[in-house]
Structure 1
Amino acid sequence: MSELTPLGEVVGRYGLDARKALGQHFLLDETVCARIARLPGDLEGRHVLEVGPGPGGLTRALLAAPIAHLTAVELDARALVALAEVEAAFPGRLTVLQQDAMTFDGTTLPTPRQVVANLPYNVGTPLLIGWLRQAGAWERMTLMFQEEVALRIVAPPRTEHYGRLAVLAQWVAHCAIGLRLPPGAFRPPPKVHSAVVVVTPHAEQPAPELFRAMERVTAAAFGQRRKMLRGSLKALGSAEALLAACGIAGERRAEELSVSEFDALARVVAERPA
Structure 2
Amino acid sequence: MNSVRPKKHLGQHFLADPNIARRIVGALQLPVGVRHVLEIGPGMGVLTQHLLENPAYETSVVEIDAESVAYLQAHYPALAERIYATDFLKQDLGAMFPGQPLALIGNFPYNISSQIFFQVLAHRQQVREVVGMIQKEVAQRLAEPPGSKTYGILSVLLQAYYRIEYLFTVPPHVFVPPPKVESAVVRLTRNATGRLDCDEKLFFRVVKQAFQTRRKTLRNALKPFGLPAEATTDAIFDQRAEQLGVAEFVGLTQRVAQHQAAASADLPDRTVDDIVE
TM above 0.5: yes
Which residue of 239, 252, 266 maps to 2:253?
A: 266
Moved more, 18-27 or 203-212: 203-212
Q: 1:68 offset after TM fit, Å?
A: 4.0
Q: 1:118 offset after TM fit, Å?
A: 1.0
Partner of 1:213, secondary structure, is: helix
Match of 2:224? 235
Computing the radius of gyration over CA atoms, which structure comes out larger, 1 or 2? 2
Partner of 1:48, secondary structure, is: strand
Match of 1:134? 123
Identity of aligned residues (%): 34
**Matching of residue 190 in structure 1 with residue 196 in structure 2:** no
- Alpha-carbon distance in 2 for matches of 1:35, 1:135: 25
**Matching of residue 174 in structure 1 with residue 163 in structure 2:** yes
Match of 1:4? none
| Counterparts in 2 of 1:248 and 1:135: CA distance versus 1, 3 Å | farther
The alignment covers a number of residue pairs equal to 258
Q: 1:19 offset after TM fit, Å?
A: 1.3
TM-score by length of structure 1 reads: 0.86
Give the AA of the match of 2:15: L
Deviating runs (4+, > 6 A) in structure 1?
Answer: none
| Counterparts in 2 of 1:220 and 1:186: CA distance versus 1, 3 Å | same
- Alpha-carbon distance in 2 for matches of 1:241, 1:216: 22
1:136-195 CA-to-partner distances (Å, cap 9, x unmatched) read 212211111111111111111111211111101111111111221011121111001111
The answer to whether the 8 A contact 1:175-1:200 is kept is yes
Moved more, 67-76 or 188-197: 67-76
Partner of 1:162, secondary structure, is: coil
Which aligned pairs between 1:6-155 and structure 2 lie closer than 5 A? 13-14=2-3, 16-42=4-30, 46-88=35-77, 90=78, 95-107=82-94, 108-109=96-97, 111-155=100-144
The answer to whether the 8 A contact 1:233-1:239 is kept is no
Q: 1:250 offset after TM fit, Å?
A: 2.2
| Counterparts in 2 of 1:242 and 1:58: CA distance versus 1, 3 Å | farther
- Alpha-carbon distance in 2 for matches of 1:208, 1:128: 22
Gaps (5+ residues) in structure 1? Answer: 1-9
Gaps (5+ residues) in structure 2? Answer: 265-277
| Counterparts in 2 of 1:248 and 1:206: CA distance versus 1, 3 Å | farther
1:85-116 CA-to-partner distances (Å, cap 9, x unmatched) read 3431x266x61111011112223325242101
- Alpha-carbon distance in 2 for matches of 1:140, 1:34: 17
- Alpha-carbon distance in 2 for matches of 1:64, 1:218: 41
- Alpha-carbon distance in 1 for matches of 2:12, 2:228: 43
TM-score by length of structure 2 reads: 0.85
- Alpha-carbon distance in 2 for matches of 1:119, 1:208: 32
Match of 2:202? 213
- Alpha-carbon distance in 1 for matches of 2:61, 2:17: 19
State the superposition RMSD in angstroms.
2.3
- Alpha-carbon distance in 1 for matches of 2:241, 2:79: 51
Partner of 2:132, secondary structure, is: strand
- Alpha-carbon distance in 2 for matches of 1:127, 1:66: 27
- Alpha-carbon distance in 2 for matches of 1:180, 1:239: 47
